[in-house]
Amino acid sequence: MTHNTPLSPRPLRHLSEVQRRVLTIAQLRAHGVSAAEVNEQCRPGGPWQQILPGVHLLHPGPPTGEERLHAILLYAARSPLGEQASGVPAQPSAEQPHRPTYQDAMITGLAALTLHGFSAAPPLLSLDRIDVLVPRLRRLRSTGCVRIVRTAALPVPEQVTGVPVAPVARAVADAVADLVDAGVVRRLLTEAVRGGHCEPASVVRELTQARLLSRPHVVDAVDSLLAEGRAIAEERLYRMVREHGLPDPVWNVDLRLPGGPHLGGLDAYWPEQAVALELDTRAPRQDDDALWSEYARKREHLERLGITVVHVTPRKLRDAMEQQAAVVRTALMAASDRDPAAYVVVLPR
């Protein structure tokens, strides 16, 4: 605030420094600043400026990237009283006493990926528009530096430097929706997986829901993404066996009945214990049901032959490797209590 602007006793101490420089007309009114006084402060050459409808920047000159983000969230967030845009943000929570909660709004798209630390995403200040995700029925319009993105169901936001940000998979999908450069799309998808932000399946799920898999450059990028994700999952699998003291399996093999049909490929197999391990790197695409049926048939066939099948997902390997190692170890130890499995031929895949 400037020295000549009167304020009511309501304190601003629950706001961060940047949030004291960006306030809505409702917040200013709550602090005793009338509409006439706001207009006076925002006159040409004055100390304040209106940055978005109903949102004011309390200093002259261009806003910082952080100020833009908070202004956008103030414009888009629903107030606790159910007001439309430019209401007062909800009061801080016990977990973050200095951070007001922006209700029903979060940063998404390229800006969100920048906040998540993506090297392939541009700096905030280079973005002409910043995407903000809101519920589908909100009565808001895109304006200025704000582009409204609507969704039937808001994801749970992640807090990045006090800013609610869409999860990486959703942010990637919202960014890709407006990108036509195949190289940029591929780099963003690859960094999402290689950087450990999320699994390929979650990215493909969001792209599918956004109906983006009909675009050839997106399909090509997804194929590269799935190959990247599988390579990472396989490396984690090798590390699990090595670091958790499991006996060495035979890797990447096909099983066949002697003189009979092909039983299917496996990522790892322990012949003496008749324990098979398969990485589930399927992604939710249009042919997912057929792939799942094929996988289920293979598993049922192997188990009828007395072969124990351990099903592991890339996420489980990433988040709970020790637990997955324990599952495999238990299956190996239980082999002595089972009837001998049928004889199968093991071939390199």
| Rounded CA separation 304/295 (Å) | 14
Asked whether residue 93 carries a pLDDT value surpassing 50, the answer given is no
Q: Cα–Cα distance between 205 and 202 in angstroms, integer?
A: 5
Q: Residue 259 CB: number of other CB atoms within 10 A?
A: 6
What is the mean pLDDT of the segment spanning 124-149?
94
Cα within 13 Å of Cα(78), Cβ side: 13
The Cα angle at residue 66 between residues 65 and 67, in degrees rounded to 5: 90
What per-residue confidence (pLDDT) applies to 286? Answer: 46
Query: Between β-strands 275-279 and 308-312, what pairing exists: parallel, antiparallel or unpaired?
Result: parallel
* Residues of the chain above pLDDT 90, percent: 58
Which range is least confidently modeled, 92-106, 208-222, 225-239, 292-306? 92-106
| pLDDT value of position 157 | 95
Mean pLDDT (the chain) is 85
pLDDT of 107 reads 97
Distance CA 88, CA 172 (A): 29
Instruction: Indicate the pTM of the whole model.
Output: 0.74
pLDDT at 2 exceeding the cut of 60: no
Structural domain boundaries in the chain: 245-348
CB atoms within 10 A of CB 17: 8
- Predicted local distance difference test score (pLDDT) of residue 11: 46
- Structure-model confidence comparison of residues 154 and 292, the more confident one: 154
Q: Which two tokens stand for residue 300?
A: 């049922």
- pLDDT score at 1: 45
Please state the rounded mean pLDDT for residues 190-214.
Answer: 90
Written as six digits, the tokens of 160 are 């990045």
Instruction: Give the architecture (CATH level 2) of 245-348.
Output: 3-Layer(aba) Sandwich (3.40)
Q: What average pLDDT does this structure show over 173-184?
A: 95
pLDDT digits (tens, 9 = 90+) for 23-71: 998 888 888 888 899 999 999 989 999 999 999 999 998 999 899 999 9
pLDDT grade, residue 292 (50/70/90)? low
**Is 255 a residue whose pLDDT tops 70?**
yes
Is the pLDDT score of 91 beyond 50?
no
